[in-house]
Structure 1
């Protein structure tokens, strides 16, 4: 049956309960034999439970070493790493790694194992029953927007790069760990797939509220994903640890300014997400609807396109009037090139998607890829204009109006910091 979706506003629901754990790195140092300088030198920082913290900095600055010391893939030379109340150096390494999910570039799947077997590895080690593991595999495939019936028995070679990365995330979440570590997780996929995987991670995080620590070389990715960003220089010296908004508005020093690069004002636009703007109405059709009925709905609404959704309300086609006049009934064909953005995507992401859309707009999806509405160029340009005006207006403290500033309490003199809540996070 055809329908029209009306979007007076697009507010997200309340966040789920936090299931993540806090992490404290207390004067952590890593020295390798034969090297004069420490790879990580006296790092102190606190990672709050249920937040995404992005570790960025130039190559060789120690961010990946820092990440791997959290789950002791690399053993710290000095200092403490505390997961909630537990010092990880007092925990058996294998037992610790079963409590912490780990995602690497390209998923890191075992090629000789099916998707279901890959995801179920850690639960099997923990002694879960076959029935419980099978149920968890299907639950996680649903979570990463892959149909269990289609994908559970496939092998990695039968998956695209983006699908492999989704399976990698599902495997890391299999035993429901409080912490997820990600090392350049989306670096090996094309830009469009990368954007969709980023959106998927944000949707998953909204639902699960894990503690996620992610290494990236891409500062734009850090701004998009991070509740907090830690900028390192050589030796994992923490130069600035703050919200993306405050780093962009108030860089700590020249090093941070240079690392951000030119166009910091434009990067402010990546702070606005699709779910913060009003979506346009859409005429929605289902598979099997009469083409003439859908055309009547278009006439009534004054629209030129109809969105076709499947039984789970996921968009599969976006039909023009001309296409509908040639149809007796709406088919179940799937358009692989459908211009779709997640509601957690940035406005920059939305604009990129619209550039390849003949409709000059994009379809917006929410959790589990459910269709929410349409975003068009005019909506994005209005939001960009408003954001630019806010960015040009400063408070007496020099920070732009309308930018969340969070809280930051400096610890010592090394640039290490303890963070509080990010507003709206």
Structure 2
């Protein structure tokens, strides 16, 4: 009798959580509404939780999530209590908000929405605005020492931009979300430069010159000290598998030049260098516990400490690699890194993208490599590009494709029957669908450095 009652309570709580998340997703009907008025009002009603802790604010076209996770991991290794806010999630909504690698509890999500339900509806708050306010409130309640906050899209009018950061990080500039941010790199850079605040230090990762010029000009106008990294500053990038990478980078604050990280690829070396510079900035500002050893530990153990997934994630004994690269620039870097470890001629590429992405440019990146076969698929997301449409474009470029039904179960069953290596990419939503269906265990070879 007691066990039955406990199970009933468990299912009731699960149902309430699912209804709560359904309510939040329903806020998508208000669309993507760029601007700070709503989030400002909602946070004022919550006693401005975003002012209760220092923030490292991160924008950029690609690498935001990886860089945010690396920075959070480095600070955790230094003994800090660190909040991490990223988007989108892969399997469960709670992944977006975590403290020291522990996701917000489902009951805490329910309680927040109960508390703010009427204000959310009255203000016509969007999904991302509500989620951002939830993250800020959670971090304040948990008493974090510092929060690492990733911009959702753009920067200037993104809901996260109500923070007054300790440090601003921009990972790089490339084409994405052009319907909202503009078609040119200058326009996109201008939106991302909108998170630069007067007098607040800025770190900039490698990016094209036209984007860099915009960031540099904005930093000068805001009298914000700028540390600008170029690709030439990160050298001797070496890896033989997808579990560990070695690179050289000389920072401003550490004598150490030879670094290891648990994420692999040229872009991840750049992201790691940004994490090193972030640590240098905090050390210079007097934050205790930040040393070369703690930085190295955080870079190596980023996956385990933060739960970061689907960044060239290699599934043990299955020959499956998962990655959330979803635009031409990101996929070009992904394929280049993958091809240096695997033979693409023996690899099945499974790819599904969103309708808003640069279809022709992505197709050009795909056809540049000799794949064993290419499989087009659609995720469960309502804005997923139909697999048939994607296949038609690829076949017009001479690539024979296999199309898989949109049902996730069909895709996972198809993947299970494949022989040889498999690379799954194209969107967070496609990778998330696969992970929901099958709890893949990843290779987590430890590195003693």
TM-score, reference length from structure 2? 0.26
Structure number with greater Rg is 1
More helix by share: 2
Higher relative contact order (CA 8 A, sep 6+): 1
